[in-house]
Amino acid sequence: MGVGGVMYDTVGSPGEPIFFLHHNYIDHLWWQWQKQDLPARLYDRNGQNVPTPEKLELAHWDFPSDAILNYDGDPANVTTLHHTLWMVGLIPNATVADVMDLGGPLICLEYN
């Protein structure tokens, strides 16, 4: 949302060339952080699922509804390793625990 343009559109944002560079770099930063203590950081997770209502209001976002926040059994707006990542039917849903290890069987990513 900070970039604006097509990146502001949650459905159309993959049409922006910088989208994949941005997400790849965030994954790279995540991997650098995890490598510092991989055994512990594969299970290190907390925080909110979505921004606070105040931040959503500032961004003029009318999202998410309770149907999104409360569909997977996580307590209110707190993410756990059991939180389901909804893939909109594009690929099978996964949990946060399933994707924590970028080099694991689901993501299979390696940085050189």
pTM (global) more than 0.75:
no
pLDDT of residue 16: 85
Contact 30, 107 (CB under 8 A): no
Q: Per the structure block, which two tokens stand in for 58?
A: 């500032």
pLDDT of residue 78: 76
Ordered mean pLDDT values, 10 residues apiece, the chain (112 residues): 71 84 88 90 78 72 59 67 79 87 85 76
Rama region for 5: left / alpha / beta (φ>0; ψ in -120 to 50; rest): left
CA distance 24 to 79: 22
CA distance 60 to 1: 10
pLDDT of residue 17: 83
Q: Per the structure block, which two tokens stand in for 75?
A: 């307590």
